[in-house]
Structure 1
Amino acid sequence: MFKPLSLYVGLRYTAAKRRNHFISFISLTSMIGLMLGVAVLIIVLSVMNGFDRELKERILGMVPHAVIRGDDLLEDWQRVDARVEEHSRVVAAAPFVQGQGMVTGGGSVRGVLLNGIIPEQERTVSIIENHMLEGRLDDLKAGEFGMIVGKSLATGLRLELGDRLTVVLPEATVSPAGVMPRMKRFTVVGIFSVGAELDGNYTLVHMEDAGRLIRTDGRAQGVRLLVDDLFASPVVAEQAARMLEGRHYVSDWTRTHGNLFNAIRMEKTMIGLLLMFIVAVAAFNIVSTLVMVVTDKTGDIAILRTMGATPGRIMRIFMIQGAIIGIFGTLVGTGLGILGALYISDVISWVEGVFEHQFLSSDVYFISYLPSQLLWDDVMIISGAGLAMSLLATLYPAWRASRVDPAEALRYE
């Protein structure tokens, strides 16, 4: 069967057991290094993608994509709500009343963000209902002064369903007994868990109850929006505000949580670049391997030249040999990386169970497990970069082989 000379000789050189075992060892380490570099890069970027996804789904699923406020409290928030929902890219809208205060319970005091909501509309713009540990969003009923708290807050104040806690606002009220802080007793009707920061300071009450405490008299402080594209929130919010009569102000998640999101994106980029250097080092180890192979095969090269092989054909022989190392290392590394990215969460959970130690504590991080999201675009880029660097690494040794002088090489044979 006909085989091109360059491919035939290149395959023979790759498969043959060399006289110099050190060259074989260097070839193996180059292949393993490339394999591990590609696999680790895919796994690490998948984990960073997982954190990025959890941030968007959990943290940014709780906070509003965008908020529209007026110069003062919204008297007719129903009209504003209905009007902004007419925008084609606004999925849902819901009114809110918000204030800061302190809650006391179980002998402890915590600062919290008090959010007055309407349960029926809140579930359309928030993921809170999907993360309720106890109770339901519908348990917030007007006039009953119920409160839904985060898991960390409930743990810190030793609260359970049905327990009572006192909310204190940083505003003074004049009474016959003197100047007193404004306070109100609430009952815990639900506990949720979405992330460390929100679990410790985020509370939900019915908007009517919050209005009585903050004295908004049935008016809303603003309307929060859920849009179809998270990254289009600033533009969509501006467009929706222009649909309203009068002056309105907008804000979006990029102003409140944009720094956290950008930090994860930057970390992913920097870690990707650093790990890509590891792949580059492994790929360019092929240079030293092929240089030693060329030195070892100088006599063979000279014989091939005297038999009529052109410099270009000699060059292709060693490019094929280096490419086989690069292709095999990259493909195996890609396969290992994909398997690792798909099962890293299960492996870490198993390790945590064996050693009875939790690596990601929900008291510190906004999730308690190692997330992973495999993106095929990342796999293609990493694999393509590994193959490209491997092929580039073969050029110099192959060119050096093509420049071997037959007469000089055979002088002492």
Structure 2
Amino acid sequence: MISTLEKEITFRYLKTRKKDGFLNIISIFSFIGISLGVAVLIIVMSVMNGFRTELVNKIVGFNSHVTVKPYENRISLDKLENTYLKKISKELIFSNSGEAIVIGKNYTKGIILRGYSSKDYPKLDVVKKGDFNEQSAQLSKNSISIGKELSYNLGLGIGDRLSILSPTGIQTIIGSLPKQETFIINSVFDSGLTDFDANVAFVNLDTLESFFAFEKGKRNLEIYLNDPSNIEEAKTSIQKLFENEFIYTWADMNSSLFSALKVERNVMFIILSLIIIVAAFNIISGLTILVKNKTRDIAILKSIGVLNKSITKIFFFVGVIIGTSATFFGIFLGVMFSLYVENLREFLSNTFNISLFPEEIYFLSTMPSEINPKSIFIISICSILITIIVSIFPAIKASRLDPVKGLKYE
């Protein structure tokens, strides 16, 4: 507990005075440094969390949550009636895929063709939730749905013809030649991820299997879960059901990406925490100078019977109040910037004509931000703890001051 006397003296020392000019500057810089450190940490953590969430949503919305790939024997249809599998999944879709080459007038590249039946294709999240320009929602025999980025690169739109080359050869009188077919573009999708839009296209399942000479019994089973975030538990249970098939999830396909994001977020937290630590050292400097300036006051307080414990409390609370108020102000700044970070990005991009968040590098067209109360709590606790630690030494030093020496030359 703090007494009324201790409280009065603490707030008196916090007030600015003209004769304490240099001390006030140090206190102001301590306040600003800690506030900026906390604010920057919150902004960076919010952007990193938002980026990860958006990326997961885009990836989960475009890919199957769990894919069951047969080795030799086809997937038994009886297993699809499993009670647990029905409980955790919302859609069970058979598909197939293969790599092919798109041939354009001035543009040729490899793409991944995904095949779905006409009845299963409309069930995909990218079709239900995605941004679609379409002539038809169905995948007929020779129709194809391509991404916005691929459409732009090829200079083709809905109704245009697109030639695709298969690695599967056909026998002719001059030998084996790659199979080539022409598809009509019936829709252009926008998944929100340029990597998918530029490299993946959808075709009819029967057409794809004929094009690549695949066996119909070797189709993959795509499982779309009710809760794709709980992927590890679901994968373990599905592996027990499909013991003789290869199982992989959306997390397995992007494990390196999310591991890199996690490492980057942790490293950024450590590096930016140094800003708070450096700013906190200003509190030591400020309190040390304050003790030096208040030597006479401390000696008088001791001479009238104020205990060393009370002197320690007074200077300790001066440091803690500066650090705590700076932390809360930093939280306010960080939250406000996090809420309007996309508006700020657009303003800077338009004003200086620069690209601060290139879509082709970061996959997303806007700068995401997700304010996580847990992260803010951890940041604020760390900041206040650092402030408490650096306030202890000057406070103890003040309490050990000899009142006789303090008044000797007065």
TM-score (norm 1): 0.92
1:195 to 193, 196, 200: 193
CA RMSD of the aligned region, Å? Answer: 2.2
**Is 2:278 the counterpart of 1:281?**
yes
- The residue number in structure 2 matching 1:148 is 145
Is contact 1:93–1:125 with CA below 8 Å preserved after alignment? no
**Is 2:408 the counterpart of 1:411?**
yes
Judged with a 3 Å threshold, the aligned counterparts in structure 2 of structure 1 residues 365 and 327 are, in CA distance, closer, same or farther, namely: closer
- The residue number in structure 2 matching 1:49 is 49
- The residue number in structure 2 matching 1:70 is 70
Percent identity (aligned): 27
**Is 2:384 the counterpart of 1:382?**
no
Q: Structure 2 matches for 1:171-186, cutoff 5 A?
A: 171-176=168-173, 178-186=175-183
- The residue number in structure 1 matching 2:108 is 109
Distance 1:370 1:136 in 2: 32
Judged with a 3 Å threshold, the aligned counterparts in structure 2 of structure 1 residues 58 and 84 are, in CA distance, closer, same or farther, namely: farther
What do residues 259-281 of structure 1 show as CA deviations (whole Å, max 9, x unaligned)? 01111111111101111111121
* SS of residue in 2 equivalent to 1:138: coil
Corresponding residue pairs, total? 408
What do residues 298-343 of structure 1 show as CA deviations (whole Å, max 9, x unaligned)? 1100000000000000001111111111121111110011101111
- The residue number in structure 2 matching 1:13 is 13
Is contact 2:121–2:138 with CA below 8 Å preserved after alignment? no
> Greater CA deviation, 220-229 or 109-118?
220-229
Q: Structure 2 matches for 1:366-405, cutoff 5 A?
A: 366-405=363-402
Judged with a 3 Å threshold, the aligned counterparts in structure 2 of structure 1 residues 136 and 344 are, in CA distance, closer, same or farther, namely: farther
Give the CA deviation at 1:73. 6.1
Unaligned runs of 5+ in 1: none
TM-score (norm 2): 0.93
**Is 2:96 the counterpart of 1:97?**
yes
Task: Please tell me the residue identity of whatever aligns with 1:368.
Answer: S
Give the CA deviation at 1:27. 0.5
* SS of residue in 2 equivalent to 1:359: coil
Task: Please tell me the residue identity of whatever aligns with 1:88.
Answer: K
Give the CA deviation at 1:60. 3.2
Q: Structure 2 matches for 1:13-412, cutoff 5 A?
A: 13-17=13-17, 19-72=19-72, 74=74, 79-83=78-82, 86-118=85-117, 120-122=119-121, 124=123, 126-135=125-134, 138-141=137-140, 143=141, 145-176=142-173, 178-193=175-190, 194-216=192-214, 218-244=216-242, 247-412=244-409
Is contact 2:146–2:202 with CA below 8 Å preserved after alignment? yes
Task: Please tell me the residue identity of whatever aligns with 2:50.
Answer: G
Distance 1:407 1:278 in 2: 40
Distance 1:399 1:262 in 2: 45
Distance 1:160 1:229 in 2: 35
Distance 2:349 2:73 in 1: 50
Judged with a 3 Å threshold, the aligned counterparts in structure 2 of structure 1 residues 313 and 122 are, in CA distance, closer, same or farther, namely: farther
Distance 1:140 1:205 in 2: 6
Give the CA deviation at 1:391. 1.6
Distance 2:47 2:32 in 1: 22
Distance 1:307 1:85 in 2: 78
What do residues 9-60 of structure 1 show as CA deviations (whole Å, max 9, x unaligned)? 0000101415231111000000000111111110111000111011101123
What do residues 193-234 of structure 1 show as CA deviations (whole Å, max 9, x unaligned)? 221221211111121221221233544521112234445424
* SS of residue in 1 equivalent to 2:364: coil
Distance 1:304 1:120 in 2: 86
Is contact 2:137–2:187 with CA below 8 Å preserved after alignment? no
Is contact 2:58–2:193 with CA below 8 Å preserved after alignment? yes
